[in-house]
Amino acid sequence: MSQPSSAVDRLLVDESGRRPRADARRNLERLVEAARIAVAEVGVGVSAHAIADRAGVGVGTFYRRIPSLQVLLETVLDEILDEIANVADRALEDPDPWHGLCVFAAAYVRLRAESCGVSEALGGACGDALAQRLTELRGRIRRLVERAQAAGAMRTDIIWQDVPFLLAAAATGEHTLGMQASDKQWERNLHIILDGLRPTPPSTLPGAAPA
C-alpha cells in the first residue's frame, strides 16, 4: 500500500481504518501548518507549546491529535524533503541538463535559506529518522551533477560530493563582519557558485551587492 502523500494524511492514519471527524482533521491541519512555520523560523528545537499556540489550540489538543512532538516534526520535515525530491525528479527530466541542475539548485538553496529547521535536518540534526530521505536526495544530486558533466555543461574536475557543500554555503546568514546581506544574497551566492562550476564565462549577478 502506498504511503499517504501529505503530512496531515500520514498523521491521520488509524489502524482501525476509521475516518477522522471533520473537526479533528481541521485541528491537525492547523497543527501541521503551524509546525511548518515554526520549524522554518525556530528550527527543530521548537516546543509543542509553541506549535499549539501558533495553531490556536491547547497543548491538550496537540497531544490528542499528535502521537508526539518528534513524530510531528519528522513527518513535516519528511513532507518538505519529499517536495524537494519532486523538484529534483522534474529537473532530471529537463532536456537541458544544466538548466535542470540550476532549477534544482535554486529551489534547494532557497529552502535552506528560508527554513532553519530544514537546514538543520539536512545537516543531520534529526539523526536516523530522515536518513533514508537524505540518502535518496544524495542520489538525485549525484545524477543531476553527472548528467550536466556528461553534457559538457559542468567542469569535470569537481566531484558530485562537492556540490551539496557548495549549495549549503550559498544559504548564508543576514550579517557578517558588520555588513548587511542584500535581499537576494543567497541568489547572488548561488550564481557565483554556479558560474564557478561552468566551463564558460560567468553570468550577470542578480540583485544589489551587500551593504
Q: Is residue 99 part of a domain?
A: yes
The Cα–Cα gap between 112 and 106 comes to: 10
Q: Is residue 130 part of a domain?
A: yes
Q: Is residue 13 part of a domain?
A: no
3-class SS at 175?
A: strand
Q: Is residue 120 part of a domain?
A: yes
The CA radius of gyration of the chain, in Å to the nearest whole number, is 20
Q: Is residue 179 part of a domain?
A: yes
pLDDT of 29: 87
Q: Is residue 57 part of a domain?
A: no
If phi > 0 it is left, if psi is from -120 to 50 it is alpha, else beta; for residue 103 that is alpha
Residues 6 or more apart from 179 whose CB is under 8 A from it? 210, 211
Would the pLDDT of 105 be above 60? yes
Q: What is the pTM of this model?
A: 0.82
pLDDT tens string 16-59:
455 556 677 788 889 999 999 999 999 999 999 999 999 998 89
Domain range enclosing 126 = 95-197
pLDDT of 206: 78
Q: Is residue 147 part of a domain?
A: yes
Q: Is residue 51 part of a domain?
A: no
Domain count of the chain? Answer: 1
